[in-house]
């Protein structure tokens, strides 16, 4: 298992380096002059030249890239904002926990409700429970998350006054601020989870060992939860990793609507202002967070799938036999 973890960690290195190079290169092709945006349209040509030199935009691409990667990976310095001159690292340290909380709460709701919904649909195939579950899943896929967010704000914040629509920041926090954003962000993920669970469960409950367990008199609840669900979890866990990546990247719209000062709103504001260091630093941090999350998903996958354990155990036995 340690070798399995080591292989996954090693794969994170080229991924993060590749993301860094790709984002840095893409920033060069973005339209607009950062120096002109920072100084203003009324700036003189001399002021623009001086500002470009100050920002390092006059140097060659390869020199800027090498310096940037050295600062990030050797000195752990993401630089400072071109607009506010505030450290990007400190800003991300303040904002990243909010995005992670939103993502985790969204993932918990999506899979906490999607898996039971998919199990219900599979165990009542072609019955009213199955039809209702799949209709709800199709509605969840079809509804845009920004429209759902606005409807939830009107219902629960404006009309009923049960939940806050915004207010996170300046020392104000609490899970109640994440309920509406998480529900708005989880509609598509919940629907996909329910459909995947239904499909996986239908493949498993037709297997011979399920029929054997039932013929031995094993209670139906134990057959479904202990035998069928455990083997159906493998594709569900795989989908969990891709869903986690979409939630990390897709939180930008939800954070903007609910006024959450997280990574999404931070990067969107930087793109509008051509504040390239923030875009680069935010993308790198999100790539690292996604890589760590995928590592955890892989470990969970290895814990559920005994074939991975057996493969590395057999390799270890072969090495011991060869050394002997």
Structure tokens at 82: 């071109």
C-alpha to C-alpha distance for 110 and 236, rounded to whole angstroms: 12
Structure confidence at residue 77 as a pLDDT band (50, 70, 90): confident
pLDDT at 147: 86
Structure confidence at residue 80 as a pLDDT band (50, 70, 90): confident
Strand partners, 169: 172
Q: Tell me: pLDDT of 128 over 60.
A: yes
Q: Tell me: pLDDT of 283 over 70.
A: yes
Q: What percent of the chain has pLDDT above 90?
A: 0
Structure confidence at residue 306 as a pLDDT band (50, 70, 90): low
Look up the pTM and report it: 0.77
The string of pLDDT tens digits covering residues 224-253 is: 887 788 788 888 888 887 788 777 766 778
The stretch 87-110 carries a mean pLDDT of 87
Count Cβ neighbours within 10 Å for each residue of 2-32 and write b for 16 or more, e otherwise.
Answer: eebeeebeeebeeebeebbeebbeebeeeee
Structure confidence at residue 311 as a pLDDT band (50, 70, 90): low
Structure confidence at residue 4 as a pLDDT band (50, 70, 90): low
> Worst-scoring range by mean pLDDT, 113-117, 152-156, 209-213?
209-213
The stretch 128-141 carries a mean pLDDT of 85
Question: Is the CA virtual torsion 317, 319, 320, 324 positive or negative?
Answer: positive
The stretch 254-264 carries a mean pLDDT of 83
12 within 8 A of 291, measured Cβ to Cβ:
yes
DSSP codes, 38-97: HH-TT--HHHHHHHHHHHTTTS-HHHHHHHHHHHHHTS----B-TTT--BHHHHHHHHHH
198 within 8 A of 224, measured Cβ to Cβ:
no
pLDDT at 317: 55
C-alpha to C-alpha distance for 16 and 8, rounded to whole angstroms: 13
Residue 262: which of 105, 93, 144, 104 has the closest Cα?
Answer: 93
* More confident of the two residues 173 and 278: 278
The string of pLDDT tens digits covering residues 40-59 is: 767 777 877 887 887 777 78
Please measure the distance between the N-terminal and C-terminal CA atoms of the chain and give it in whole angstroms: 22
30 within 8 A of 274, measured Cβ to Cβ:
yes
Q: Tell me: pLDDT of 167 over 70.
A: no
The stretch 294-303 carries a mean pLDDT of 77
Q: Tell me: pLDDT of 262 over 60.
A: yes
Structure tokens at 25: 């290169």
Residue 20: which of 78, 59, 94 has the closest Cα?
Answer: 78
pLDDT at 308: 63
The stretch 66-94 carries a mean pLDDT of 87
Task: Quote the DSSP letter at residue 143.
Answer: S
C-alpha to C-alpha distance for 180 and 149, rounded to whole angstroms: 7
pLDDT at 169: 59
pLDDT at 49: 82
Structure confidence at residue 138 as a pLDDT band (50, 70, 90): confident
Q: What are the residue ranges spanned by the domains of the chain?
A: 93-323
Helix, strand, coil abundance in the chain, percent, nearest 5: 80, 0, 20
279 within 8 A of 252, measured Cβ to Cβ:
no
pLDDT at 171: 55
Mean of all residue pLDDT scores within the chain: 81
C-alpha to C-alpha distance for 16 and 13, rounded to whole angstroms: 5
CATH topology for the 93-323 domain: MetI-like fold (1.10.3720)
Structure tokens at 295: 């590592």
């Amino acid at each position: 298992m340690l070798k399995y973890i080591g292989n996954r960690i090693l794969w994170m290195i080229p991924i993060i380096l590749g993301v860094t190079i790709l984002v840095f290169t893409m920033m060069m092709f973005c339209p607009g002059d950062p120096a002109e945006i920072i100084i203003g349209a009324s700036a003189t040509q001399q002021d623009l030249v001086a500002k470009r030199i100050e920002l390092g935009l006059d140097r060659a691409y390869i020199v800027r890239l090498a310096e940037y990667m050295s600062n990030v990976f050797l000195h752990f310095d993401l630089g400072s904002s071109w607009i506010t001159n505030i450290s990007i690292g400190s800003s991300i340290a303040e904002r990243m926990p909010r995005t992670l909380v939103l993502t985790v709460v969204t993932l918990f709701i999506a899979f906490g409700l999607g898996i039971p919904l998919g199990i219900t649909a599979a165990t009542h195939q072609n019955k009213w429970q199955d039809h209702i579950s799949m209709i709800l899943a199709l509605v969840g896929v079809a509804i845009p998350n920004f429209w759902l967010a606005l409807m939830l704000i009107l219902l629960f914040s404006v009309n009923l006054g049960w939940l806050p629509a915004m207010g996170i920041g300046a020392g104000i926090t609490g899970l109640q601020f994440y309920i509406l954003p998480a529900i708005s962000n989880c509609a598509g993920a919940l629907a996909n989870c329910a459909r995947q669970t239904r499909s996986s469960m239908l493949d498993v409950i037709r297997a011979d060992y399920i029929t054997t367990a039932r013929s031995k008199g094993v209670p139906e609840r134990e057959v479904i939860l202990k035998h069928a669900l455990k083997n159906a979890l493998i594709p569900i866990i795989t989908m969990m990793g891709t869903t986690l990546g979409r939630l990390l990247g897709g939180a930008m719209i939800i954070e903007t609507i609910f006024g959450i000062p997280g990574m999404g709103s931070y990067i969107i504001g930087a793109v509008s202002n051509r504040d390239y260091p923030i875009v680069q630093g935010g993308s790198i941090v999100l790539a690292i967070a996604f890589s760590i999350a995928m590592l955890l998903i892989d470990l969970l996958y290895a814990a559920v799938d005994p074939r991975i354990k057996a493969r590395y155990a057999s390799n270890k036995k072969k090495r011991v036999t060869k050394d002997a």
